[in-house]
Amino acid sequence: MTTRTDRLHDRVRVEYRTDRVAWVVLEPGDESMNSFTAPVVDAMREGVAVAAERARVVVLRGEGGFAVGADLRHLREQPPESRSEVVDDIVSASNELVTAIRAVPALVVAAVTGVAAGGGFGFALACDLVVAHEEATFDAAYARIGLTPDNATPFFLARLLGPYRAREVLFSPDPLSAEEARDFGLVSAVYDGSPAAFDDQVAGFVERFTRHPPSLVGETKALVDSALETSLDEHLALEREAVVAASGTDRFAEGIDAFFDRRDPDWA
């Protein structure tokens, strides 16, 4: 398949590299290290949403580095009395991106090179899976500039690591290396090589997740996301409702036929 590219912003593009995998790519601004403003985040959210309509896996990638949070140069240039309004705009846009990542019926995979810091760290944590280059780092960074964390960074860290280790990560003066992030359970795989080689390895990693139909992905994501917010009885009821509904679908009919025919399901 010839790669099709849709540009949503001068710093955000969507690449459809195969029929089932789309890449939402954040491009660096002038000396910005992939920092972002509200319009950039809005374009990223739109990219995730439109990519999920066509692809089964959406890869979130930053060129030269993953993302480092809000553009501090832009904030520094604002009059002190205006900064809160600018930050509110960025946080509102970021919240919508985090919500979109969790809601779309596609697996969203963060492919992290360089630095994932501040809000960029939060965006990576919001994804369904994270893979990283061996030289990538993950840095909460908020405390060092006098800000409380956002982009659901403490939300996901507390659920993935527990409150004790979440506090350690949020207040540590040192970023996590890719290997440390993998040891913590925040990263699924660590790769080396050039940017092109890294992209090839990411493409190979995500290919095995492309066979599942969007409806199944969305329903399963919802069950996983609710698991830490419901009691056992409540979650069993949600599982029962979902699996009973799924058992009456054409998706399941094809799946069970394929099982007995000893073939892969044809979920076109």
Residue labelled with tokens 């089932």: 20
Distance from chain centroid for Cα 185:
15
Count of CB atoms situated within 10 Å of the CB of 174: 9
Rounded to the nearest 10°, the torsion over CA 95, 96, 99, 104 is -160
CA torsion, ordered 34, 38, 43, 47, to nearest 10 deg: 80
Q: Identify whether the C-beta of residue 13 lies closer than 8 Å to the C-beta of residue 7.
A: yes
Domains in the chain: ranges and CATH: 4-207 (3.90.226.10), 214-261 (no CATH)
pLDDT tens digits, the chain, 268 residues: what are they? 558 999 999 999 999 999 999 999 999 887 667 899 899 999 999 999 999 999 999 999 999 899 998 888 888 888 988 899 999 999 999 999 999 999 999 999 999 999 999 999 999 999 999 999 999 999 999 988 999 999 999 999 999 999 999 999 999 999 999 999 999 999 999 999 898 999 999 999 999 999 999 999 999 999 999 998 999 999 999 999 999 999 999 999 999 999 999 999 999 7
CB 33 within 8 A of CB 65: yes
pTM of the model: 0.93
